[in-house]
């Protein structure tokens, strides 16, 4: 889509143009927040979080403190974003829990629900569970912003997925949506043909 801009942080962030400016998808790691704030000359209309993992949500608190903007995320992700519930540890000896939970907490009042079928500035929210149970993306005119539903030309590493079998089913859902181009959290955009090839390999 014309004007969609990828920002290459630890995970891809996306500036999505709207008539009144733009909104931001995902927020990078906590220590990337200063660079992100310097890059955003105009405040975003809102922040849309695809899922709770620290490389996608770590800068959210800084954005909220600076701009007071609403932060949209699936309610399943909220307990991790507020730190009412610890994120699952990464498979790193001794440090896995610490690294997974470095993102500062968001206050409940900052959060707004983003659930299947809701519309955000003309984009439809779609649930893409598996990598996390509350992962969501945005779909419009054949273009899908998909978070970590896909990674490279495959799936995210199995150990990072909360439900590996559900992650596979989400590949089929992406095709059933009619997505022609898929923008992901790590790597460049994928064509429909590339997602079809993955579905064939997975048998879904």
Position 136 scores a pLDDT of 98
pLDDT digits (tens, 9 = 90+) for 68-125: 999 999 999 999 999 999 988 877 777 778 888 889 999 999 999 999 999 999 999 9
Position 184 scores a pLDDT of 98
Q: How many helices (H) and strands (E) does the chain have?
A: 7, 12
Give the number of other Cβ atoms within 10 Å of residue 30's Cβ. Answer: 18
Position 102 scores a pLDDT of 86
Position 2 scores a pLDDT of 64
pTM confidence score: 0.96
Query: Using CA atoms, how far apart are residues 24 and 46, in angstroms rounded to an integer?
Result: 6
Query: Residue 181 forms beta bridges with which residues?
Result: 143, 191
Position 88 scores a pLDDT of 86
Report residue 12 CA to chain centroid gap.
9
Q: Is 137 exposed, middle or buried (0-12, 13-18, 19+ CB in 10 A)?
A: buried
Low pLDDT (below 70) residues in the chain: 1-2
Position 124 scores a pLDDT of 98
Position 96 scores a pLDDT of 78
Position 22 scores a pLDDT of 97
Q: Which of 124, 178, 133 is nearest to 16 (CA)?
A: 124
């Amino acid at each position: 889509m014309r004007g969609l801009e990828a920002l290459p942080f630890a995970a891809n962030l996306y500036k999505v143009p709207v008539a009144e400016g733009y909104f931001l998808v995902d927020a990078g790691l906590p220590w990337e927040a200063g660079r992100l704030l310097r890059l955003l000359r105009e405040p975003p209309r809102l922040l849309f979080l695809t899922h709770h993992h620290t490389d996608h949500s770590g800068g959210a608190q800084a954005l909220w403190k600076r701009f007071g903007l609403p932060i949209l995320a699936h309610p399943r992700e909220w307990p991790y974003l507020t730190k009412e519930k610890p994120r699952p540890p990464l498979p790193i000896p001794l440090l896995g829990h610490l690294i997974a939970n470095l993102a500062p907490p968001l206050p409940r009042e900052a959060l707004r629900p983003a659930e299947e079928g809701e519309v955000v500035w003309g984009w439809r929210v779609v649930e893409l569970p598996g990598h996390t149970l509350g992962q969501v993306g945005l779909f419009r005119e054949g273009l899908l912003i998909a978070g970590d539903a896909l990674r490279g030309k495959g799936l995210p590493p199995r150990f990072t997925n909360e439900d590996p079998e559900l992650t596979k089913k989400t590949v089929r859902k992406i095709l059933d949506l009619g997505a022609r181009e898929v923008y992901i959290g790590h790597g460049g955009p994928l064509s429909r043909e590339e997602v079809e090839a993955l579905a064939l390999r997975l048998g879904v």
